[in-house]
Structure 1
Amino acid sequence: MNQPLLEVENLRFRFRGQEQDVVQDVSFRLGRNETLCIVGESGCGKSVTALALMGLLPQDSVQFGAGRIRFDGETFAPGDHDRIAKMRGDRMAMIFQEPMTSLNPAFRIGDQIAEAVERHRNCGHAAARARALEMLGKVGIPAPEQRFDAYPHQLSGGMRQRVMIAMALANDPELLIADEPTTALDVTVQAQILELIAELQAETGMGTIMITHDLGVVAEIATNVAVMYAGQVVEYGSARSIFENPQHPYTIGLMASVPSLTGPRRRLSTVPGVVPAIGQMPEGCRFSSRCPFAAPVCAARPDLAEQDPGHRVACHFAPLEQTLERSA
């Protein structure tokens, strides 16, 4: 097996003053030119996991456990902000969910891209400007010379997201984290943005982590999938194995809630309840308060155990087919 670009092992942290971890023992790996999709409801820990990987959580408010990150053969602790800061914007970059709040409204978009180039490439402003113009053209923004001097509020949502992509990829990162980059965009622009990211990934060979709740997007672009619930990875495997043979009740609930375009109309399935707040997580399996299979054994936390090669599930009742046969 080739050396993975990124390995995250037992990432664990909590906010100061909290008695429970907001993210607990999260592990995954990502190869070059692969896409890992992290899926789950709002509040499941997807975005905060990405912020931790990028070193963007406030240092004075987070307590990290004894996990580790291995990036391109280099191992460091999740809380090593100085080391992560040297790579952020250069070897690893992030596209945020809402570009209007991520771009500085007081600066021209071209200058914001050029600043990232100047910081990491130690070049002059003219070279940085030329690179910014090149990236604006590469992400499909028309008339880059004119758009260079535009402010964020003068662009549409789709154009602002393209600017974010240009900024993230200006230094040819090896790792790209995209946090729901198509939220609030119409379906046509969504497709364009996803196609653009896929084209740039194929061109550069970077590894991509895509955070999303859209299972249609996952089915289209994912190499592997990590299903998160309440700060834990509850199912992990290839996209094909997750979609063809989901084994965690939460994964099955997510898939059942997706509307179908074919067949008879029916009421959408739902997962009852909501994600518990930090400090109110059940002991043992955190999904037990919403799970139809919940039993006394769920008071003990299930391990993320391998069910099939490369397919791991954190459920006492997996494989579910055998559980259903026994109860029939």
Structure 2
Amino acid sequence: MAGKLVHQAPDTEPAPLLDVRELTLSFGKDRTNLLQGVRYSVAAGETLCIVGESGCGKSVSSLAIMGLLPAGVARIEAADIRFQGKPHDLGDQAVLRRRRGSEIAMIFQEPMTSLNPAFRVGDQIAEAVKAHRDVSDADARSRAVEMLRRVGIPAPESRMREYPHQLSGGMRQRVMIAMALANDPALLIADEPTTALDVTIQSQILDLIRELQSETGMGTIMITHDLGVVAEIADRVAVMYAGTIVESGSAARIFDDPQHPYTIGLMSSVPKLTGPRERLSTVPGTVPTAETMPPGCRFSTRCPFAQDICAETPPERDFGDGHRVLCHFAPLDEHLELA
């Protein structure tokens, strides 16, 4: 089916929980756009996985939405973001502080560097509660105990008095989840929350996030480079490369019918558990830096199908059901001879 250029969604469509229609961000003095026209959305109760190599801008885009990038270094060149149908102004620090931790919460990749080593974990959760709720110290601590119990930490009353270094990696990540959800946020952003954990604990953490999401109906953005995690939990997927979303759609469409060369490269690099042993496919080269960012399609320097037209910015093509691809040659099977 031939793609067509994307048209503006009609105003009658229900507003998603978070709707990033445009996010362009530069760093430093050269003003190179490290994020360029990023767009994605997530609905209440839905899990969106943002995937891509390290250095593609996955974490930076989420930190920008949270308002956690250094103002003197990061510069918002363009932004059109809606949260719960209302403008999410990245320049309004008062609104960002009010939403951060209450309406939008974030779990960071490494809990040992996110938790304060000088304070007991219970005090840190209680502090997060008091920052957004007008409650007494006793009520805040009671809420902290409740959240530790909710995330499956045994003997939460005694764990409240422990410091982060006294807990295992899995326990620390559960504390981070308890802190993030203490104020019942509508949206949870999880930045590779299972990267430093063993496979068994990874599965437990993912099951926990799914269970809590089912209970509360919150939307979830999962940042990961692990396609196994994506296949397990994602409702929809956004593939990011060099600061742009090159393909997005339902998890089924992305896995069954990828249409961007970068997405195909990612899928081909996953080892198979059955069949004859084969050499793993790789995507040659590395993600370009700000100084080496090519014009037009940012994947052109690594793409096996690149042609002269790729020096121009590719159009976004819509294949229906929210499946969008940023490529001159999509659909690939109609435009190129795939070897």
Shift in Å at residue 85 of structure 1? 1.1
Deviation string, structure 1 residues 266-308 (Cα, Å, up to 9, x no partner): 1111000000111210011110000000100000011222133
Match of 1:219 among 218, 228, 231: 231
**Number of the residue aligned with 1:38:** 50
Does the Cα contact within 8 Å between 1:68 and 1:78 map onto a contact in 2?
Answer: no
2: CA distance, partners of 1:238 / 1:80: 33
**Number of the residue aligned with 1:182:** 194
Match of 1:29 among 34, 41, 54: 41
**Number of the residue aligned with 1:3:** 15
Structure 2 unaligned regions, length at least 5? 1-12
Structure 1 unaligned regions, length at least 5? none
2: CA distance, partners of 1:88 / 1:38: 20
Deviation string, structure 1 residues 110-166 (Cα, Å, up to 9, x no partner): 000000001101111100000000000010111101100100000000000000000
The aligned amino acid for 1:113 is I
Alignment of 1:172-211 (within 5 A): 172-211=184-223
**Does residue 14 of structure 1 match 2:26?**
yes
1: CA distance, partners of 2:203 / 2:321: 32
**Does residue 86 of structure 1 match 2:98?**
yes
Shift in Å at residue 180 of structure 1? 0.2
1: CA distance, partners of 2:81 / 2:241: 21
Match of 1:270 among 262, 282, 295: 282
2: CA distance, partners of 1:233 / 1:33: 22
1: CA distance, partners of 2:86 / 2:298: 33
Does the Cα contact within 8 Å between 1:177 and 1:208 map onto a contact in 2?
Answer: yes
Bigger share in helix: 1
With the length of structure 2 as denominator, give the TM-score of the two structures.
0.94
2: CA distance, partners of 1:207 / 1:18: 36
2: CA distance, partners of 1:71 / 1:225: 19
With the length of structure 1 as denominator, give the TM-score of the two structures.
0.97
Alignment of 1:115-154 (within 5 A): 115-154=127-166
Cα RMSD, aligned residues only: 1.1
1: CA distance, partners of 2:30 / 2:250: 34
The aligned amino acid for 2:201 is V
Shift in Å at residue 176 of structure 1? 0.2
Deviation string, structure 1 residues 34-56 (Cα, Å, up to 9, x no partner): 00100000000000001001110
1: CA distance, partners of 2:88 / 2:172: 33
SS at match of 2:96: helix
SS at match of 2:221: strand
**Does residue 155 of structure 1 match 2:202?**
no
**Does residue 318 of structure 1 match 2:321?**
no
1: CA distance, partners of 2:139 / 2:176: 19
User: What is the number of residues matched between the two proteins?
Assistant: 327
2: CA distance, partners of 1:132 / 1:65: 39
